[in-house]
Amino acid sequence: MHRLYALPAGPPAPPLLYVARAWAPRVSGWPLAVLAVLAGTALLAASARIRIELGFSPVPITGQTFAVLLVGAVYGSRLGSATLLAYLAEGIGGLPVFAGGASGWAYFTGPTGGYLVGFVVAAYAVGWLAERGWDRSAVTMAVAMVAGNVLIYVPGVAWLMAELDISLGRAWDVGVQPFLSGDARKLGHPSGLLPAAWALKEGVERRGGSPRD
């Protein structure tokens, strides 16, 4: 498979970027990577607008988990994690892209900061697994998504414990347990999307639409 963006040598691009390259053959290399990052941060910001406050927890329900793991799986490890770093830079820099339109260093270092750090780690890990074929099957993609979700929760819980001076059990009660059922539903969508995208890519190739670097 041909690479879509000219980041230093690495694994091939995932299928949705491949299709984008097929549709826009004159856009390649770093311009395509920049456009992908901008599109990814826009998706993350939009997903953060979906916010439901929980009176017993400082952590709101948002659509970000879905967006973070989707970006990682679609973009791959390097471009996915770069997109999440760009998203954090936008929010810390003052753009209203965090949950509920929040922004700034104070928000980043607040109780939910660990989840934001976990976003970067999760995007990289899910992208790394996708690059190694885990996105070819709904089952392996679901496992990758669960692993990514765990990588969001681990720093999130540790940060909550330190920031609020609470026990592990209390951090679990307010920072993990309320979100598990919703996460299970959200993770099902990208788990099926990526295998379908590979089928689309293979269909493009069979029709002679393989783009060139």
Which residues in the chain land under pLDDT 50? 1-10, 19, 23-27, 211-213
Per residue in 41-94, pLDDT (tens digit) is 999 999 888 766 665 566 666 778 889 998 998 888 999 999 999 999 999 999
Query: Is the full-model pTM beyond 0.85?
Result: no
Asked if residues 86 and 119 have their Cβ atoms less than 8 Å apart, the reply is no
Q: Which amino acid is at 34?
A: V
DSSP calls for 45-82 = HHHHT-EE--TT-SSPEESHHHHHHHHHHHH-HHHHHH
Query: Which of 74, 77, 76, 97 minimizes the C-alpha distance to 86?
Result: 97
- The ranges assigned to domains in the chain are 29-193
Six-digit token string for 102: 């929040």
Q: Does domain 29-193 have CATH number 1.10.1760.20?
A: yes
Instruction: Report whether 125 contacts 148 (CB < 8 A).
Output: yes
